[in-house]
Structure 1
Amino acid sequence: MKSIKKSERILGIINVLKKYSDEENELTLQEIIDYLHEEFIDEVEFSKVAISNDLKELSDSKYVDIIINNERNGLPKYYSYKNRLIEIQELRLLMDAISSARFITKKDKEKILEKIKRLTSLSLANNLQNQIYLEDYAISGANRVKYTIFTLHNAIHEKKIIQFKYGRYNVQKEFTLSHNGLTRELHPYALVWNNDYYYLIGKYVGKEDMVHLRVDRMVDVNMTDQPFKVDEHFDTSEYMNRLFHMYSGAEKDLKVRMNNSLINVMIDRFGEDVYIEEDGANAFILRTKAIISDGLVKWLLTWGSDAKVIDPPELVQMMKEESEKMYNIYNN
């Protein structure tokens, strides 16, 4: 019979316990040995005394969570690996997020989901069968996006300027580069995932205003060796909270009168800390800061006559103009 080092044997035991045991499935000493034979093939001889001593050492160790249930009434001891770094409920959330992401191809999703299942026991992995439909559709360039995201994360972490080109689709569904394919330079601040798309927030070199760009529309992305200084006052959460449909624009104080039926929608959108003031029996006044843009206009029009803009005046005018355009479309 072939022999192996103690260190290799212990690693084999840990692997067996991680793979085949959990809170609901415990293994006897003989079952562990049987699985070890499967791992190392039958050429290796495993002593019950040696394996039992190894399990005792692992149980006493502060680095591995091995649980031993002592024998009672002549029954054998049971062993299991518990307290995993990621609980099965958390693995489920990860799988659902991956399944729903439009920037990941179906093929890549299937690969990632199988890898996630390997983070728990085989028994629990059977309970992680995907319940969300995996669409064949993925955004154009999805294979490229994962590498772009990796580069951008590194640039943000190291505070290095990036170079890239940007493009959009035309009505012929052709992807064309903006600014005649000019290479742009930008200070990358943060990556956000919004409405199934990744966006990069940052400042163009030499500019003061923040911008946000669809990552899947960025091509030839490279991190340079040039460092930049981050604006310490910039808050990603505040910036995103003031955007609507990812449109850029000037930030203003927003005041809107809304029907009470929209209170939960507004709390979902702005959080419980948003300023709300009762206005009669059936309405309330919403006050917040927002980026004034076509995106905000479209968002407000979603609520029809249940939302009336009071301030700022330029937004009131934008709402009137857009409403008139809609009226004319349906009356011509």
Structure 2
Amino acid sequence: MTRIDNKVRLLKLMSILKDETDEDHELNLDDIILRFKQAYGQELKLNKNSLKDDLDHLILHGFDVTINQEKDGLPKYYSHQYRLFELYELRMLIDAVVSAKFISKKETRQLTGKIKQLTSHQQGKKLHNEIQIDSSIKSETPFIRRTIHDIHEAIAERRVITFQYGRYDVNKQFNLSHEGRLYKVRPYALAWANDFYYLIAYYFEADEIRHYRVDRLRNVEVLSETYPYEGFDVSKYVQSTFQMFAGDEEWIKIKFHNNLINVMMDKFGKDVHIQRHGEDHFILSTKARVSTGLVNWILTFGSQAEVLSPPSLVKTVKAEVDKLYTLYQDN
């Protein structure tokens, strides 16, 4: 005959309820005893009254146990239904992990596996059916979570970091920039944009703020050197950038076709300054960081977007349009 310690029995009971029950799946005492014997052997001796006392003890100390008894005389069914996350919330977390290009395929599977453990096995299977991983767009950078953790710690403690940085060439080979030399920066913030994590940091050598794709960082090291607090509005800064290109902030005015109003509100928010211009257009006025990213963004709208100011931006966009015209002129 096999016996288990009272504390072990209580912990196992919690585990059975958490892993195997939910609002759609319940267990009676016979079912629970069967689970215990599957774990500890058929010779295990369990008393139903002891299990009832354990259930009462769990309820008394705040562990959710839902008791269902349809009619007197019928067995009671028990389940753990309260979860920190609803099923739809777990689906959103999984969707976010799967769609994040900076997370490698291996780490995607690890993270989604952990998310599934936040609910019962049966509900976890429903989440498993939702997982579709396109490995062709996932980062191959190992230990990305460790890098993100280290940078977050450095930001919180206002400590300087160093790293190497690189990019892929046309041969799909990753090459370190700066001849492999270390970049030394003050890390201000991590921003998730365009499906990637970006480090926004002050680069000492160039005396300017720059952005770095976190999945392209290598050999990140947090130094003992610290820097004083500097107020930095991350959301405002990111909103003023385009495709995460850095640049000088200027007032810009662009005339758009009316059918782009929702696109602009998605980008700039409902409070962006919009002025009607005739029946079919509106003029957007906002501060933005003038950069290659901004020019590329404007050109994606083709003839539905016309830059009005500043003159330097008008000139740059015109030059790019001329290059496009020349490129296709002979085709």
* TM-score class, shorter: over 0.9
Q: Secondary structure at the match of 1:152?
A: helix
Q: Does the residue aligned with 1:50 lie in a helix, a strand or coil?
A: helix
Structure 1: distance between partners of 2:160 and 2:297: 34
Residue 14 (1) aligns with residue 17 (2): no
| Bigger mean CA deviation after superposition, 20-29 or 104-113 | 104-113
User: Can you list the C-alpha shifts for 1:9-55, whole angstroms capped at 9, x where unaligned?
Assistant: 11111000001111121211221121122233334311000001110
Unaligned 5+ runs, structure 1: none
How do 1:102-251 and structure 2 match up within 5 A?
102-138=101-137, 141-205=140-204, 209-232=208-231, 234-251=232-249
Is this contact kept in 1: 2:251–2:287, CA < 8 A?
yes
Distance 1:195 1:218 in 2: 17
Aligned positions, number: 330
Alpha-carbon distance between aligned partners in 2 of 1:176 and 1:60, rounded to the nearest angstrom = 60
CA deviation digits over 1:101-126, x for unaligned, max 9? 22333333233323322221122122
Change (3 A) 1:144 1:61: closer
SS at match of 2:142: helix
The letter for the 2-side match of 1:150 is H
AA in 2 matched with 1:195: N
Correspondence for 2:296 among 295, 298, 314: 298
Shift of 1:2: 2.5
Of the structure 1 ranges 132-141 and 246-255, higher mean CA displacement relative to structure 2 is found in 132-141
Deviation, structure 1 residue 138:
4.9
Check the 8 A contact 2:105/2:139 in 1, yes or no. Answer: no
Question: What aligned pairs does 1:94-109 form with structure 2 within 5 A after superposition?
Answer: 94-109=93-108
Partner residue in 2 for 1:283: 281
Tell me, in whole angstroms, the C-alpha distance in 2 between the residues paired with 1:121 and 1:301: 49
Note closer, same or farther for the CA distance 1:126–1:169 as it changes in structure 2 (3 Å cut).
closer
1:106–1:138: 8 Å Cα contact kept in structure 2? no
CA shift for structure 1 position 280? 1.5
Structure 2 equivalent of residue 329 of structure 1: 327
Kindly indicate whether the alpha-carbon contact (under 8 Å) linking 2:104 and 2:140 is maintained by their aligned counterparts in 1. no
Confirm or deny: 8 A CA contact 1:106 1:137 kept in the other structure.
Answer: no
Change (3 A) 1:308 1:89: same
Q: CA-atom RMSD, angstroms?
A: 1.9
CA drift at 1:130: 3.6
Question: CA offsets, 1:127-179, max 9 Å, x none?
Answer: 11243532232556421433322221221222211111222233444333222
Contact 2:105 2:138 (C-alpha < 8 Å) held by counterparts: no
Q: Is residue 2:23 matched to residue 1:23? A: yes
Aligned partners of 1:165 and 1:220 also within 8 Å? yes
For residue 256 of structure 1, what is the aligned residue in structure 2?
Answer: 254
Letter in 2 for 1:47: N
* Deviation by residue 1:55-96 (Cα, 9 ceiling, x = unmatched): 01111222x111223562321222111211111111111222
Give the conservation status (yes or no) of the 8 Å contact 2:255–2:306.
yes
Greater Cα shift, 68-77 or 79-88: 68-77
SS of alignment partner, residue 90 of structure 1: helix
- TM-score for both structures, normalised by structure 1: 0.93
CA drift of 1:322 comes to 0.7
Distance change in 2, residues 1:231/1:21 (3 Å)? same
In the alignment, the residues of structure 1 paired with residue 86 and residue 155 of structure 2 have an alpha-carbon distance, to the nearest angstrom, of 30
Partner amino acid, structure 2, of 1:65: D
| Alignment match of 1:312 (pick from 298, 310, 313) | 310
Q: Does the CA contact (< 8 Å) of 2:253 and 2:310 recur in 1?
A: yes
Instruction: Report if aligned partners of 2:298, 2:305 keep a CA contact under 8 Å in 1.
Output: yes
Offset of 1:306 from its aligned partner? 1.2
Unaligned segments of structure 2, at least 5 residues = none
Q: Is the 8 A contact 2:184 2:203 kept in 1?
A: yes
Between the aligned partners of 2:181 and 2:217, the Cα distance in structure 1 is: 12
Secondary structure at the aligned position of 1:137 is classed as helix
- CA distance, structure 1, for counterparts of residue 22 and residue 167 of structure 2: 50
Letter in 2 for 1:316: V
Give the match's secondary structure for 2:107: helix
- Whole-Å Cα distance in 2 between the matches of residues 7 and 123 of structure 1? 26
Partner of 2:54: 54
1:16 is aligned with what amino acid? I
1:214 Cα offset (Å): 1.1
Aligned partner (choices 272, 278, 291) of residue 274 of structure 1: 272
